Chains A and B, each alone.
Chain A
Amino acid sequence: MANNTNLSASLNLTQLDFFGLKNSFKNYLRGQAQFKDYDFDGSAFNVLIEELAYNTYKNAFMSNMLMSEGFIDSAQLRTSLFSHSKELNYLPRSKRSARATVAVTFEASGVSQPYTIPKGAQFSTLIKSESYTFTMPETLSVASANTTFAFTTDIFEGVFVSDSFVFLGSPNQRFKLTNKNVDTSSVAVTVYEDGSQIGNIFKVATTLLDLTEFSKVFFLQTSETGNYEIYFGDDVLGRKPKLNSTVVVEYRVSSGTKGNGARVFSVDFDPTSSNELLATPKITTIEASKSAAEEEDNESIRYYAPRAFQVQERAVTTTDYEIALKADILVETGKDAEAIALLTNMARVVGSSVGRGRRIIKVIVGAR
């Protein structure tokens, strides 16, 4: 049989199309005479050719996809973009909760004042007939000389959840946040060491500058599954928790932009915590909910990650400031205070004013 074989034609397998590959196999087989039925769809040989073509097609597709995912310009999977962002020291923005400002007034006997209103106290609202929960970001203490109590607070859409972990001593240990809808600006980490009931509060580190082995910080990054995760220092840059410490990560789970536009709120908790209310609390909405954001989309990551790396947390040109602002916070949604705070870290802010519907922040470039 082998004597009659003349498979001199080269086998071209560079195509990405199934039928193109199948034709390549057929052309290759034209150089032999033992099997003539490869060109008929019903033949056994044709089944084999199709299997080969399909396998080659899958391999070619796989190679193409792997190469695509290997570069930030062509990556399609979000987890691949997260990985590329990590190389560039860029943290893709998570969902951001809508923020509203309310003034609460309530009548109470005041027997056990000052009243402590805990972080996470809930307010309800309806947006487009759907119920949403807003929560307080910090604990608040309220006192009064008479029976009328009042406080004003920002409230954020979403409820707080917490994940608990045990620190096993390895600096490589990652603590993955279980909920993908986390608002990373709300992440709070408390570490309970030596079985203590009093926790050490660790703060998020966004830079390595000024970190020591005593700094109680944690680092936030994206994981290979698309969740956010935290990790601690190694006793060189950031303090490492003690072995077998309990790590509690508390964060707000956001609905993103769905939380925008709430105007009427109701209180879901007893501000006195001890049934001392004399009447139903009254709520005045000072500012309707706004400033929410969805998680950063792929194109935005693709654009900002290399540029944030280029800026390197420094700001020299005006473009640097624009990139720093757009990457970290959404200026266009009205977070003026955050924008000014961010700029203050990088330059000397000499003025801020509102003109033509836009906030204008004047800085001296290159000065701090």
Chain B
Amino acid sequence: MATTSRADKFTITSKQVEYYSDFLIDLDKNPLTGYLARVTNEESVKQAVKLLLLTERTERFFQPWMGSKLNGLLFEPNLPTTNIQIDQEVRMTLKNCEPRVKVEDVVVTNGQDRDVNDTYVTVVFSINNIPNKTFTTDVVLNRLR
């Protein structure tokens, strides 16, 4: 039978329930423990949303439907209609591939610097197991070279 130390017995801990947990996408480790670092709950979902949006459709083996085609839209004319397409693409991707979130809003803004041609996408969403809260994830679309 496990024994409890006095320190543990009298230390007040408000341990948060973990609904979701994942490791960091760069496989970074926890500097204190040396174990693989983890992200939990909303941070985990935020990471998953970003990962899905930046995954090119047909990129995953055997799952061509996975991901979005946002990178392809980078090469469309810089018009309001393209922003609408990005909006729809974000919503459709998350609806199809991420059952944990409900998209509340998608804000698409174009970079001010014409030479850089960035597009900023902010996704506002709520998470199923975390009621009455919304979260945001920012995705920057720009060309690689």
Q: Which residue numbers of A lie inside 8 Å of B, CB to CB?
A: 1, 18-19, 34-37, 40-45, 47, 50, 54
Contacts and interface: CB of A to CB of B under 8 A. Distances in A.
Interface residues of B, number: 26
B62 A35 contact: no
Contacts of A19: 62
B38 A43 contact: no
A18 B48 contact: no
A235 to B, nearest CB: 56
A43 B100 CA distance: 11
Contacts of B38: 34-35
Contacts of B62: 18-19, 54
B44 interface: yes
A37 B42 CA distance: 12
B51 A45 contact: no
Contacts, number: 58
Most buried by B among A1, A18, A43: A43
A50 B51 contact: no
Interface in B1-58: 18-25, 33, 35, 38, 44, 47-49, 51-52
Interface in B91-138: 97-100
B101 to A, nearest CB: 9
Closest 10 CB pairs of A and B: A42-B48, A37-B22, A42-B52, A44-B25, A18-B62, A43-B22, A36-B21, A54-B61, A42-B98, A43-B48
For B33, B47, B62, B66, the residue with the greatest tally of chain A CB atoms inside 10 Å of its CB is B62
A50 B55 CA distance: 14
Given A18-B61, A19-B62, A35-B38, A42 B18 contact: no
Contacts of A54: 61-62
Chain A CB count within 10 A is highest, among B21, B33, B38, B98, for B21
Nearest to B30: A1
B88 to A, nearest CB: 18
B143 interface: no
Contacts of B33: 1
